[in-house]
Structure 1
């Protein structure tokens, strides 16, 4: 009997875990990734002090059982997000922020030791790096002789018995030409499906010392008035590296990196004092500027819109093309847990 060959588009968490599960079933899998790196919306960077900082997916909780199961299987340790000390909530720029403390009884958030990319690295080793091809952006998929032929932006072709796309649906229908065309019903739905992280600007500021903790601040900050809207302590699990990390106001995407950086340091200095100016490095990721993740919508799309829609369950092109990814998950769509659940859902159909 001929061994079935499956091509997975996208080497993010969903794509990698899908390949991992299919290989366990004895299926030959090739992952094609448009970017020069793997991980998708998991993007861990390492500062000059060796602190790891997340520009993408970061936190998870006890409710994310699919992800926790994978971390256990792969023997990847995780730790509780630091929240001890004074946290700040700013409602208006001309009023001092309110101070509050987060109770230990609150449901905890966790982070993966060594950075979220540790999960990506472990999966890529399990799958075999030789089965992952980067810098391979798929631009066309056509049905031919009971197979699917994929063409990349360099003109190279790949054949597969079945194809699983794990890239955001809106990006898929706007960047890949299908022959024959996908149904209009699906195409219109995909264009109106929210892409997670698309509107986010993640930032991190690296420091040599955790001065905020030394001054009894948790590093947690919420603001309705300044550039930093949400921020948390981002020290390493072993407390050997230190950073503050969070989300910037999405509207500041129109500013330059230097302009955003200046506003961030000014805000941190206002709240934490002059020690905030003594930073090692400033880092950020404007996800709407990542063309292999985010495709601008044709019309207003709300957060969560059409995530987990039932149409994503139906394979196309005579049941040879499957649409997956975190956006298609019916449980925790958009989160890492959703990416794992989507992978399980698709793999169970093979």
Structure 2
């Protein structure tokens, strides 16, 4: 009996975990990734002090059972997000921020020890790097002789019995040419499907000491008036490295990196004192500039719009093309848990 071969498009957590599950069923897999890096919207960077900082997917909670199950399977430890101390909420720029404390009884959020990328590294080691090809941007998928021929931007062809796309649907239909063409109702749905993280600007400021904690602040900040809209302590689990990390106002994408950095440090200095100016380094990631993740919408698309739509469950190209990924999940779409649930959903059909 001929062994079925499956090509997966995208080496994010959904693509990797789908490959992991398919291999357990004895299916041959090949993952094609456009980027030079593996991980998709999981992007852990390391500072000069050794602290890891998340420019992509970060937090999860007890409600994310599929992610928790995978962390247990891969034997990856996680820890509770630090929230102890004084937190700040700025409603207007001309009045001091309100101070409040987050109760220990509130539902906790967690982070993976050593950075979220540890889950990617573990899945890569399980799947095998030899089954992953990076810097391979797919430009066309053609149905031919009961197989799908996948062509990359260099003109290389790959054939498979089935293809599973795990990249955002809007990116898929705008960057890949299909022969025969995909149904118009699917194409229009994909174009109106929200890409999670697409509007986000994530930032981190690395420090040598956790001065905010020493001064009884949690590091948690919410603002409706300044460049930092949401921020949290981002120290390492063992307190070997320290950082503050969060989200910037998406509208500031029009500013330069230096302009954003200046505004961030000014805001932190106003709230936490002159020690905030003694930073090691500033980092940021504008996700709308990630060409292998985000494709601008043709019209207004709201957060989570069409995520988990029932049309994504139906295979295309005579049952050979499956559309998966975090946006297609019917549970926690857009989140890591949704990406894992989507992988389970697709793998169960093979």
TM-score range, shorter chain: over 0.9
Measure the CA separation in 2 of the matches of 1:253 and 1:39.
23
Q: Secondary structure at the match of 2:60?
A: coil
Measure the CA separation in 2 of the matches of 1:153 and 1:209.
46
Measure the CA separation in 2 of the matches of 1:181 and 1:266.
52
- Equivalent positions of 1:32-51 (< 5 A) are 32-51=32-51
Structure 1 position 51, deviation (Å): 0.2
Measure the CA separation in 1 of the matches of 2:3 and 2:239.
49
Task: Specify the alignment match of 2:5 in structure 1.
Answer: 5
Task: Specify the alignment match of 1:207 in structure 2.
Answer: 207
Task: Specify the alignment match of 1:121 in structure 2.
Answer: 121
CA offsets, 1:190-212, max 9 Å, x none? 00000000000000000000000
Task: Specify the alignment match of 2:28 in structure 1.
Answer: 28
Measure the CA separation in 2 of the matches of 1:155 and 1:216.
58
Measure the CA separation in 2 of the matches of 1:67 and 1:214.
33
Measure the CA separation in 2 of the matches of 1:265 and 1:222.
15
- Equivalent positions of 1:1-350 (< 5 A) are 1-350=1-350
CA offsets, 1:237-273, max 9 Å, x none? 0000000000000000000000000000000000000
Measure the CA separation in 2 of the matches of 1:22 and 1:256.
44
Structure 1 position 20, deviation (Å): 0.3
Measure the CA separation in 2 of the matches of 1:93 and 1:130.
53
Structure 1 position 48, deviation (Å): 0.1
Unaligned stretches of 5+ residues in structure 2 = none
Measure the CA separation in 1 of the matches of 2:130 and 2:274.
49
Structure 1 position 331, deviation (Å): 0.2
Structure 1 position 146, deviation (Å): 0.5
Measure the CA separation in 1 of the matches of 2:157 and 2:282.
41
Measure the CA separation in 2 of the matches of 1:292 and 1:155.
18
Measure the CA separation in 2 of the matches of 1:136 and 1:268.
41
Instruction: Return structure 1 stretches of 4+ with deviation > 2 angstroms.
Output: none
Measure the CA separation in 1 of the matches of 2:329 and 2:293.
17
RMSD: 0.3
TM-score normalised according to structure 2 size: 1.00
Structure 1 position 113, deviation (Å): 0.2
Unaligned stretches of 5+ residues in structure 1 = none
CA offsets, 1:92-136, max 9 Å, x none? 000000000000000000000000000000000000001000000
Q: Secondary structure at the match of 2:229?
A: strand
Q: Secondary structure at the match of 1:270?
A: helix
CA offsets, 1:154-184, max 9 Å, x none? 1111000000000000000000000000000
Measure the CA separation in 2 of the matches of 1:39 and 1:154.
22
Q: Secondary structure at the match of 1:297?
A: coil
- How many pairs were matched up? 350
Measure the CA separation in 2 of the matches of 1:158 and 1:257.
40
CA offsets, 1:215-239, max 9 Å, x none? 0000000000000000000000000
